Structure 1
Amino acid sequence: MKYKIFEAKDINIIGVKAQASFVTNGQVTSQLAKQFMPRLKEITNLKDNYSLSLQNYYGFNSINLSPTTSFEKWIGVEVNSLDIIPEGLETLTITSGKYLVIDFKGSIPQFMQLWQHIHLDWLPKSEFELDDRPHFERLPFSYNPTQEVNEEEIWIPIK
């Protein structure tokens, strides 16, 4: 598996959120994306041309994972500052720290296999520990979950 380690400064996000579980994640993500993406043009201080699919697990522990494990799901974008926030959208600041960054190209089932491999096999055997900060995927604006193959960056917080 090819990866890089990235030292991120604080990451400011504007978006929408809801509670999800591994069972409901697909449905919740779809609903949030339909709610958020039409409002993208209202955000004037975008940092880049990527959207974020973010999971805030609050104490992620691969040993205690189950299909019903609850987490906070976000769809949003990274912004240069939180000075201008369109009405009805929410903000999140991820504190600085290291991330394991993996460039991924493939289908959603292949993504799920890689995600499980990283968290259940690779990470426990590596020199890194999971950090208690949000996990996210950076998706180009061209991302479409109905496509057979997509490209994205997987960001996993480590220490």
Structure 2
Amino acid sequence: MTPKIINTKPIVIVGLKANLSFTTNGQGTAKLAKQFMPNRNHIVNRVGSEKFSIQIYDQFDYSKMSPNTLFEKWIGVEVSNAKALPCDMEVLTIPTGQYAVFNYKGKPDGFFKAWQYIHTTWLPKSGYNLDDRPHFEKLPEDYHPSNPEVEEEIWVPII
């Protein structure tokens, strides 16, 4: 897996959030998505058609993570401005920064192995360090975790 290195401008997201752990991530993300998806078309000023799956960690240290590590999970879409919010939706601004962007294509259950590879193999050898900004995945409009083969982008904040 060879990433593209991308410098971003601030990314404004409108969506829903929950506090999850790696243990509760699967069910918690599914619950957030079920709440979010029927209302996503009510979000005005959307940029693109992708959905964002975002993780915000207090301090990301792969070597200290456990199944009970807590993080803030967001499901949302990018907007040009967040002046009109649908009911219960919130705004998150992902700050400007550099990201390593990996294309993942494969079985949904293979995502974790790709994620592990990025943090245990690619990152230590890359010359980059992890930055303290949100990690996220960009998912195409037709993404569904029950598809036998999915395609998504994994965005890892680096400095």
Q: Which band: TM-score by shorter chain?
A: over 0.9
One-letter code aligned to 1:139:
L
Root-mean-square deviation (CA, aligned residues, Å) is 0.8
- Maintained 8 Å contact 1:58/1:133: no
Q: Residue by residue, what CA displacement relative to the aligned partner does 1:43-100 show, whole Å, maximum 9, x if unpaired?
A: 1111001000110012101111111100001100011112222221011001100000
Aligned pair 1:95/2:90, yes or no? no
2:42 corresponds to: 42
TM value normalised by structure 1: 0.97
Superposition deviation, residue 121 in structure 1: 2.1
- Maintained 8 Å contact 1:15/1:91: yes
Distance 2:67 2:82 in 1: 34
1:28 corresponds to: 28
Distance 1:28 1:132 in 2: 23
Distance 2:37 2:6 in 1: 27
Aligned pair 1:81/2:77, yes or no? no
- Structure 2 unaligned segments of length 5 or more: list them: none
Distance 1:29 1:61 in 2: 22
Distance 2:121 2:102 in 1: 15
Superposition deviation, residue 21 in structure 1: 0.7
One-letter code aligned to 2:75:
I
Q: Residue by residue, what CA displacement relative to the aligned partner does 1:97-118 show, whole Å, maximum 9, x if unpaired?
A: 0000011111122211010011
- Maintained 8 Å contact 1:103/1:153: yes
Runs of 4+ aligned structure 1 residues displaced above 2 Å come to: none
TM value normalised by structure 2: 0.97
2:61 corresponds to: 61
Superposition deviation, residue 7 in structure 1: 0.2
2:141 corresponds to: 141
Distance 1:92 1:15 in 2: 8
- Structure 1 unaligned segments of length 5 or more: list them: none
Distance 1:75 1:67 in 2: 21
For residue 50 of structure 2, give the secondary structure of its aligned residue in structure 1: strand
One-letter code aligned to 2:112:
M
2:109 corresponds to: 109
Distance 1:112 1:10 in 2: 27
What is the count of residue pairs matched by the alignment?
159
1:10 corresponds to: 10
Distance 2:74 2:107 in 1: 21
